[in-house]
Amino acid sequence: MTELEFKNEQIGRNFVLAIALYVVYTALLTTQFAFAWGFGGGFGLPNSKNGFYPATADLVEALYFSTTVFTTVGFGDYVPIGRAAKLYFCFESMVAATHNAAFFSILLIRLTSSSKVRPDPRRRRK
């Protein structure tokens, strides 16, 4: 009989710290993009009559829009308006995809490489 042991005994603590670091870094990136959206405008509500409502500069709405872009939820209630905003939207999407893929890849590599199956030293072979 074998049990799963870890090379690093603090793998649980490291996992929690990694998740916390990911959340904090994601919040910082999302906020940074939100400030750019809020001060630069460039996104608004779709309108079936004349294309779009005027761009909004509310920072709360900008944070909401940036979060939906960064987390790839994309509800579609706000859309980028104009070529520059669409290019910035593409840039934020690529940064978000790279950030998420890199974090989860590194986390999975560390978790899978830190585990090793070893026999239980308390049990002796007979």
| CATH numbers and ranges of domains, the chain | 2-119 (1.10.287.70)
pTM for the predicted model, two decimal places: 0.68
The pLDDT confidence band at residue 118, using thresholds 50, 70 and 90, is low
> Tens digits of per-residue pLDDT, 50-94?
444 555 667 888 888 899 988 888 887 888 887 888 888 899 999
Return left, alpha or beta for 42; rule: phi > 0 is left, psi -120 to 50 is alpha, else beta.
left
- Note whether 47 and 74 are within 8 A (CB): no
Say which residue, 118 or 29, is predicted with more confidence.
29
Instruction: State the Cα–Cα distance between residues 104 and 8, nearest whole angstrom.
Output: 19
